[in-house]
Amino acid sequence: MLHCNKTTIRAVWAAVCLILLAVALRYVRIGTWWGDDVPFACLESMIYVGLLLYWGISLRYRLTDVHVKRLLFASIALIILWFVLRCAKYDFFDSYSGIRRHLWYSYYITLNYLPTLSLMAAWRIGRRGHEQSLRLLFIPDSVFTVLVLTNDIHQKIFGFPAGYYWEDSYEQLPLFFVMCAFMAVQYLTALAIIFHQCRISRSRHLVWLPILWILVMAIFFFWYNAFQFYPIRKPFGVTEAVSIIFAAVWESCIETGLIPSNIGYREFFMASTVGAQIVDRDGKVRFSSGGALMLTDMDRQAAIDGPIFLGTDIRLQSRPIRAGRVYWKDDLTVIHNLNRELAEAKTALSEENDLIRAENRIREEKARLQEQNRLYDNLADAARPQISRIRQLIGNLTPDAPDFYRRLGMACVLNAYIKRSSNLCLLAEKEQAADAEELALCIRESLDYISVCGVACSLTQIGKGKLLLSKMRNAYTFFEETVENILPDLSALLVNLSVDADGLTLRLMMDGPEEVPGAVEMDGTFYRTYTTKREEVR
């Protein structure tokens, strides 16, 4: 179905009248009764250029694809360039044969690139992708154009017989027909793509309209070339014919719906259920949809500064557009209902989250207590032998007992071990390693209580550095077990703690006992050594 309305019909009739005027000027210009035909030639060309410019401006408002518009604008620019070159050839350089010939060669800039632009525009219709691959067609276009522009050097496109003026007699060589065939293939491919991309099924029966214009172009070129050297006054030149038929083909594709455009959007807008109005700069309503509200001037003025509410659930918004402003309503009933449901769900979730947080807090507290109890149980299990012995030592102990100080000192040594060993266990729960000074402090405190038992004690520390707490606990346990076995008979104890790059060495030198399990005796002194290798602290 054709999208012709009164405006389109008036524009077509105006274009036809202007074309007829240009034809009349052409016949006046080529008449023998008039001397200077330059003004008529320029006026004739200006009519066609003006029609092309008007058509290009109308495409800006009608076509929806910006890429198609740009390609058609470029095509119009090439045709206008053709008009300029033709005017320069016939009206300004008429006496310069060489310049006229090169201006004639320049016509093929438009003729070579116009089919490629048309093909790219057709390929872009109905597609979201780009047409970069088709830009490769500019390569043969450029090759043919350069061959034409340099024809005087090689004469592979046009041949000029000797002894004849070049405009009166020239022949078209085989490479010229190759160039024309390449143009024709591009035009036919563009038309086939437009038909294939058509999305309006009822427009397919109108494909005869652009085909009719293409047939008219074919007939014109046949007629023009067949009677090229006969004294027949043609109403159009090639430039005018190409510009008219080019615009007619694309315009017929637009009017029949083969090319997407915004034609018919007015009826679609008025029939839609969207509550919207379009006003001009004076605030007069130009278009109003079926679901539009009856707005006052005060409502429209207030909506310019920002959205306003007309009632509880209706919001009025506006945006500036070209030559006016658009107003539309938003029915927020569903959104408000959803917000109320979300608020209720949020309240329920908040209460549930409070319960979950309380449960998590109780669970964390329970886990902390369980971990604390586990740690205390481990400490109690590790110190159980020492606790049991302390009970034996101080059970029923009275100050007047003959071994009061010995038993009390022994209990203090055991108590110091329990305290320092438990401290190392607590540190191991938090950290993997600590400074070796921590082990020295443990041994030093134990030696303080051992000295109370009348034992001469001394600690020598060589080197510093971090050690695994598990290794320190093992070394301290080694020290405690050795001391507990020989403490009643011990008279002197020298402890040497050495820390270096290889690890830890703890050496005990003891005097007094007759025998020390696991020790080496030299000259009445017993030596016992604990060694561990240093491990990497992670």
Q: Specify the higher pLDDT residue, 402 or 449.
A: 449
Q: What is the band of 362 on the pLDDT scale with cuts at 50, 70, 90?
A: confident
Residue type at 325 in one-letter notation: R
How many other CB atoms are there within 10 angstroms of residue 461's CB atom? 16
For residues 374-379, give the mean pLDDT. Answer: 72
How confident is the prediction for the chain on average, in pLDDT? 79
For residues 332-347, give the mean pLDDT. Answer: 84
Q: What whole-number distance in Å separates Cα of residue 253 and Cα of residue 260?
A: 9
For residues 424-447, give the mean pLDDT. Answer: 85
pLDDT for the residue numbered 78:
93
Q: What whole-number distance in Å separates Cα of residue 458 and Cα of residue 442?
A: 13
Q: Which of 78-82, 197-201, 532-536 has the lowest mean pLDDT?
A: 197-201
pLDDT for the residue numbered 179:
92
Q: What percent of the chain has pLDDT over 90?
A: 8
For residues 351-376, give the mean pLDDT. Answer: 80
Q: What whole-number distance in Å separates Cα of residue 52 and Cα of residue 78?
A: 11
pLDDT digits (tens, 9 = 90+) for 447-483: 888 888 888 999 998 888 888 888 888 888 888 888 8
pLDDT for the residue numbered 197:
64
Q: Which of 194-203, 406-415, 505-514 has the lowest mean pLDDT?
A: 194-203
Q: What is the band of 170 on the pLDDT scale with cuts at 50, 70, 90?
A: confident
Q: What is the band of 34 on the pLDDT scale with cuts at 50, 70, 90?
A: very low
Q: What is the band of 109 on the pLDDT scale with cuts at 50, 70, 90?
A: very high
- Above 50 in pLDDT, residue 328? yes
- Above 70 in pLDDT, residue 198? no
Angle 449-454-460 from CA coordinates, rounded to 5°: 60
For residues 246-261, give the mean pLDDT. Answer: 78
pLDDT digits (tens, 9 = 90+) for 129-156: 556 778 888 899 999 999 999 988 888 8
Of 134-143, 309-318, 480-489, the range with the highest mean pLDDT is 134-143
For the chain, the C-alpha Rg in angstroms (whole number) is 53
Cβ atoms of 89 and 104 within 8 Å: the answer is yes
* Residue 314 CB contacts under 8 Å (≥ 6 apart), including other chains: 293, 329, 330, 331, 332
Q: What whole-number distance in Å separates Cα of residue 489 and Cα of residue 510?
A: 10
pLDDT for the residue numbered 113:
93
Contacts by 49-53, CB closer than 8 A, 24 or more apart: 49/80, 49/83, 50/18, 51/15, 51/18, 51/19, 51/243, 51/247, 52/76, 52/79, 52/80, 52/243, 52/247, 53/80
- Above 80 in pLDDT, residue 364? yes
pLDDT for the residue numbered 77:
93
pLDDT for the residue numbered 32:
44
How many other CB atoms are there within 10 angstroms of residue 15's CB atom? 18
Cβ atoms of 257 and 198 within 8 Å: the answer is yes
Q: What is the band of 208 on the pLDDT scale with cuts at 50, 70, 90?
A: low
Q: What whole-number distance in Å separates Cα of residue 64 and Cα of residue 261?
A: 5
Cβ atoms of 290 and 271 within 8 Å: the answer is yes
pLDDT for the residue numbered 146:
93
| Model pTM score | 0.53
- b/e code 434-447 from CB counts within 10 Å (16+ = b): bebbbbbebbbebb
- Above 90 in pLDDT, residue 23? no
pLDDT for the residue numbered 1:
44
pLDDT for the residue numbered 129:
55
For residues 396-404, give the mean pLDDT. Answer: 73
How many other CB atoms are there within 10 angstroms of residue 195's CB atom? 15
Residue type at 5 in one-letter notation: N
- Above 80 in pLDDT, residue 290? no
- Above 70 in pLDDT, residue 268? no
Q: Which of 195-199, 356-360, 499-503 has the lowest mean pLDDT?
A: 195-199
Placement of tokens 């001391």 in the chain: 483
Cβ atoms of 483 and 499 within 8 Å: the answer is no
pLDDT for the residue numbered 144:
93
Q: What whole-number distance in Å separates Cα of residue 265 and Cα of residue 267?
A: 6
Q: What is the band of 29 on the pLDDT scale with cuts at 50, 70, 90?
A: low
Q: What whole-number distance in Å separates Cα of residue 393 and Cα of residue 386?
A: 10
* Residue 267 CB contacts under 8 Å (≥ 6 apart), including other chains: none
Classify residue 81 as left (phi > 0), alpha (psi -120 to 50) or beta.
alpha
pLDDT for the residue numbered 230:
44
For residue 536, the cross-strand partners are none
Backbone angles phi, psi at 463, to 5 degrees: 85, 155
* Residue 538 CB contacts under 8 Å (≥ 6 apart), including other chains: 432
Q: What is the band of 92 on the pLDDT scale with cuts at 50, 70, 90?
A: confident
pLDDT digits (tens, 9 = 90+) for 12-21: 788 888 888 8
- Above 60 in pLDDT, residue 4? no
Q: Specify the higher pLDDT residue, 447 or 232.
A: 447
- What does the CA dihedral 284, 290, 293, 296 come to, rounded to 10 degrees? 20
For residues 49-64, give the mean pLDDT. Answer: 86
- b/e code 383-405 from CB counts within 10 Å (16+ = b): beebeeebeebeeeeeeeeeeee
* Residue 524 CB contacts under 8 Å (≥ 6 apart), including other chains: 511
How many other CB atoms are there within 10 angstroms of residue 120's CB atom? 25
- Above 70 in pLDDT, residue 165? no
- Above 50 in pLDDT, residue 323? yes
Q: What is the band of 178 on the pLDDT scale with cuts at 50, 70, 90?
A: very high
